[in-house]
Amino acid sequence: MKIVINRCYGGFGLSDKAMYRYAELKGIKVYPERSKGAFEHTIFWVVPKEQRQRELGKNEWASMTEAQQRKYSRVYNDSHICDYNIPREDPALVQTVEELKEEANGSCAKLSVVEIPDDVKWEIDEYDGMESVEEAHRSWS
């Protein structure tokens, strides 16, 4: 089994080029949009802007009821692809990283593909963004 991890301090993330390639491999049409604000990045929407506006409305978060906030969060989360939500063993993600190599790296990432035996139950261990794959085991604290 192949798993994608980040091998530097900073954090896992895909470049825009990698997000486009991932969406292409998955057969997902995306509607990219640059976010505005202190931390600019591209949001890869899977729903056209007009449909999002109909579903999400233009209400300010603070003025929404709790039920409206829950609905907004659900619709928002279902309306875009987030790199950190992609399963690390996803074959399309692995292929993207193997194809693009360094060009797949997000702004604070150095992505690598690790291969482990298929029958291993695994988890990703992370410290300040630096990741490794470890065999899952029980622990208590």
Mean pLDDT value of segment 113-127: 96
Mean pLDDT value of segment 94-110: 97
pLDDT single digits (tens) 42-51: 999 998 888 8
Residue 25 lies in a domain: yes
Only one residue has tokens 């009821």, namely: 65
**Distance in angstroms (rounded) separating the CA atoms of residues 108 and 43:** 17
Mean pLDDT for all residues in the chain: 90
> What's the number of domains the chain is made of?
1
Q: Domain residues for 116?
A: 2-135
Tell me the pLDDT band of 58, cut-offs 50, 70 and 90.
low
The pTM of this model reads: 0.85
SS3 content of the chain, % helix, strand, coil (to 5): 35, 25, 40
Residue 108 lies in a domain: yes
